[in-house]
Amino acid sequence: MTDLDRYRDRARAWLASVAPEFGKAARRGLSEAEDLALGRRYQREKYEAGYAGINWPVEMGGQGLTHIEKVAFDTEEMPFGMPVGYFGISLGMPVPILQRFGSDKAFARERTIAALRGDEIWCQLFSEPAGGSDLAGLRLRAEQDGNGWKLNGQKLWTSWAQYSDYGVIVARTDPTVPKHKGLTYFWVDMKTPGVTVRPIKLAGGDSHVNEVFFDDVRIDDRHRMSPVGGGFAVAMATLMIERYVATDSAGFGPHLDLFVELARSVSLNGRPAIEDGRVRSTIARNYAMRSALDAITARAMLMMQAGMEPGPEGSLNKLVSVRSRQRLSEMAIDLQGATGFAYDDHALVKEDWTASWINAPTGRIAGGADEMLLNTIAERILGLPQDHRPDKGVPFNQIPA
């Protein structure tokens, strides 16, 4: 037995021991506020048990292990349905970026430990109403104000902003230069006067995304995490992390085993659906696709473990996995016939095919829409020429709005 096998066994045993208190059975019927409180307690238990910040530096409150142990733990944790969704973005992108680019390392360590314990949540303030998935097209302004900055504008689709204590934000500091050049990266206290958060109700019934308004929000220059005008590079570093942190070959939908179970339990033309060639072909294709995506992720994790930057291949994972989830969910609903239309507001997306299907379009937009990912794949993986971009090299304030 390898060291990694022993690590998996210990993690699985610990997860099984706390699942009655924190797992999916314990979460059924809870309000969002109750579920968040449960999630905070679970995050604290993870921290005390040594399963939070697994691959983060010890000096930052982490365990100092590798990305391999992190992936191993996440794989074991997933089937238990623990209340971790509230912390995924916080611990996935903003806090690691604070560690890497924050100027005050003592502050970064303090915030990191608070986030690992579930005491604080961070959000990522990128998308805007007019910008879509074009991060360089954002319009929220940061204007110098004494020894600090003043933020004015709006962000959109910000996950868990209503519960966040802090956020990382990209703002336009110079509209007279081309759009990629005039951006600066900051962190912001979400309790600062002038910050207004309004939840948005999605098709699936939940409201985990928000629109956030900034009206003369004052921040110090110590909040700046990039050179003035150099924010796009830090934003891209954040997105590169996101492509692998926000990764699941099932597209964050039900596991393929659940589809196999369904195909065994329902009939198609008087026989078990699992015997139908089209159903078996779907299962085989999905298995092959998910195995390939897992291999891409494993390769990226090994690169990061070796101190290298992962490439743009993470765009493949998000694009293919969520599309596949949507199609597989639709087929699962079809196999159930009329009973497939039953919808439960409290069903878990990873367990219920109807909930998975109705929420899949959100996943195809969040973290970069399909069209942006296709451009990334075409240009950065396949080496195809760029699309014609009439705004390239043009000062931002001369681009028609």
Question: Could you tell me the domains of the chain?
Answer: 3-121 (1.10.540.10), 123-231 (2.40.110.10), 247-381 (1.20.140.10)
330 included as an active-site residue? no
pLDDT of residue 363: 82
Comparing 94 with 131, the larger pLDDT belongs to 94
Compute φ and ψ for 263, nearest 5 degrees. Answer: -65, -30
pLDDT of residue 1: 78
For residues 14 and 49, the answer to whether their CB atoms sit within 8 Å is yes
Q: How far is CA 331 from the centre of its chain?
A: 26
Distances (CA, A) of 307 to 47, 67, 95, 397: 25, 11, 19, 39
**Three-class DSSP category at 217:** strand
* Averaged pLDDT score across all residues of the chain: 90
Distances (CA, A) of 103 to 109, 217, 241: 11, 21, 20
Choice among 110, 242, 261, 275 that is catalytic:
242
pLDDT of residue 242: 60
What is the number of alpha carbons within 13 Å of residue 73 lying toward its C-beta? 22
pLDDT, mean of residues 80-97: 93
Q: Where are the alpha helices (DSSP H) in 212-367?
A: 231-245, 256-265, 277-305, 314-336, 353-365
Lowest mean pLDDT among 61-65, 184-188, 251-255, 257-261: 251-255
pLDDT of residue 245: 55
pLDDT of residue 244: 55
- pLDDT, tens digit (0-9, with 9 covering 90-100), for 61-79: 999 998 778 878 988 998 8
What token pair was written down for 392? 């390239």
What token pair was written down for 217? 């929000």
Lowest mean pLDDT among 298-302, 304-308, 386-390: 304-308
**Three-class DSSP category at 189:** strand
Nearest to 321 by CA among 217, 247, 230: 247
Lowest mean pLDDT among 259-263, 299-303, 395-399: 299-303
d(CA 344, CA 12): 30
pLDDT of residue 243: 53
pLDDT of residue 304: 67
Kindly tell me if the per-residue pLDDT of 246 is higher than 70: no
DSSP code for 149: E
- pLDDT, tens digit (0-9, with 9 covering 90-100), for 119-178: 999 999 999 998 767 888 999 999 999 999 999 999 999 999 999 999 999 999 999 999
d(CA 126, CA 3): 40
Q: What percent of the chain has pLDDT over 70?
A: 96
- pLDDT, tens digit (0-9, with 9 covering 90-100), for 340-355: 888 887 788 888 999 9
pLDDT of residue 310: 67
d(CA 173, CA 186): 11
